[in-house]
Amino acid sequence: MADLVFQVPARTTFGLDAVNRVGVVTAPHASRAVLVTETVPNGAESLQRVQDLLSKKGIDCIIFDELLSGATDRTACEVLSLARASQAHAIIGMGGMNVLTIARCAAAALDQGIEIAELFETGTPTRQRTHRRAHPSAYIEIPTAVRNHFMFRDFCVLTDSRSNRARMAHTGSGVLKAVLLDPRLSMTLSHKSTAAALLDVLLAAVEGYLSTRSNFLSDTFMQQSVRTLVDAFRATVTDSSDIRVRTLAYESAFLCALGVSASSQGPGAALTYAISAQCGVPKAWIAAVLLPHILEFQLSARPERIGELAVALGEDVDAMSAADDAARAPAAVRQMLGRLKLSTRLRELDLKLDDMVEAAEAASEFEMVRYSPVPLSSQELYDLVKLAF
């Protein structure tokens, strides 16, 4: 087994009304901040609350909520320019994964004195850092859509607007100063959006558990993430607006993010990022459709571990063979999709198969694909997508 390297780069606060700490965690780093968020129904109250909390700590807050579609480098550039022009030393991301990605990339570029495009480079940027400042910059993260798989990673996925492709953006870990996980902030999510977010978390947990980079620590996090998610799923079917449901969802996503930081996502995640960037479909919906196919695609490679996932999913696998046990995992996921009334085919998301060749090629370039227990070329990724159509 490779050496385990595990580091949580930021102070994380989890709990109801955790957002009340936003002023406290931001004040040591800045007196002026850019708050990147998104316009959502019934979200004005939460936004005003954060503004008031920052104001009480003497922090001037500039709002950026002009997110048209997806997490693109063009939008991140706009946030970066705003932060530089306003001389802000902190960027706060409050929203779903697109918002958090844009805010984090802008904060990383602000802190390093580089441009957004340089985050796509794997090495140290060679261009002169003309914007480097003596005062370090801070990034504060407030997820409102349950999850962020890159919460504790030193990279995220950003869409390159020139090629319309999802690419790895190397943000580093030093800029992230605090994470506030407040389940109340997800109450604006609809029932179906909450359900899709849960399936997106499940895909990340499944692939992290099956990854060749998995280890005893990531296994512990992932298994508990799946068990907690099953509890959240059962409660979601009954009443997704119950705050206890949202708390379970956040717990599952938090555990998954910790697990991913010690392991890796896989080809399913790579496909969701690539297809979402190219076609503009929310990645959570794509993840929900791909999940059972990912499990089936890897049945022969890791039947014992998929059987263990079936147990975590609540399946009764006593006295069965490893292959039979494993087969119950994708069946359990399909039952979830049916009970949640989510799409089960990519064609139901208005996607075109002709567009998937390029998406598969883009996905094959992600490093996370290499950690799949079944090596997958771009052609094999395309074959996998076809199964989901």
26-66 confidence digits (pLDDT tens): 999 999 999 999 876 666 888 999 999 999 999 999 999 88
* Contacts for 18 with CB less than 8 Å, ≥ 6 apart: 180, 181, 182
User: pLDDT band at 320, cuts 50/70/90?
Assistant: low
d(CA 245, CA 230): 11
Axis-axis angle for helices 191-210, 322-340 (nearest 10): 160
Which range, 1-5, 69-73, 326-330, 360-364, has the best average confidence (pLDDT)? Answer: 360-364
Residue 355 has pLDDT above 60, yes or no: yes
Which band of pLDDT confidence, cut at 50, 70 and 90, is reported for residue 274? very high
Task: Please state the pTM of the whole predicted model.
Answer: 0.92
Read off the tokens for 265. 């996502």
Residues ≥6 apart with Cβ < 8 Å to 277: 70, 157, 159, 164, 165, 166, 362
What pLDDT is attached to residue 68?
66
**Higher pLDDT, residue 67 or 18:** 18
* Domain 11-186 matches domain 190-387 at the CATH topology level: no
Q: What rounded mean pLDDT belongs to the chain? A: 89
> How is the beta sheet containing 32-36 ordered, strand by strand?
11-14, 176-181, 138-143, 90-95, 32-36, 60-64
Mind giving me the DSSP string for 146-159? Answer: S--TTTTSSEEEEE
Whole-angstrom Cα distance, residue 223 to residue 259? 9
- The CA distances from residue 366 to 255, 270, 271, in Å, are 23, 6, 9
Residue 239 sits at the vertex; the CA angle it makes with 236 and 242, to the nearest 5 degrees, is: 95
Rounded Cα distance, 203 and 235, in Å: 19
| CATH of range 190-387; options 3.30.300.210, 1.10.1740.10, 1.20.1090.10, 3.40.50.360 | 1.20.1090.10
Report the distance separating Cα 85 and Cα 372, nearest Å. 43
For the chain, the domains span 11-186, 190-387
What is the biggest distance separating any 2 CA atoms in the chain, rounded to whole angstroms? 66
pLDDT at 169: 95
User: What confidence score (pLDDT) does residue 213 get?
Assistant: 93
Chosen CATH of 11-186 out of 3.30.499.10, 3.40.50.1970, 3.20.20.370, 3.40.47.10: 3.40.50.1970
71 Ramachandran zone, left/alpha/beta (phi>0; psi -120 to 50): beta
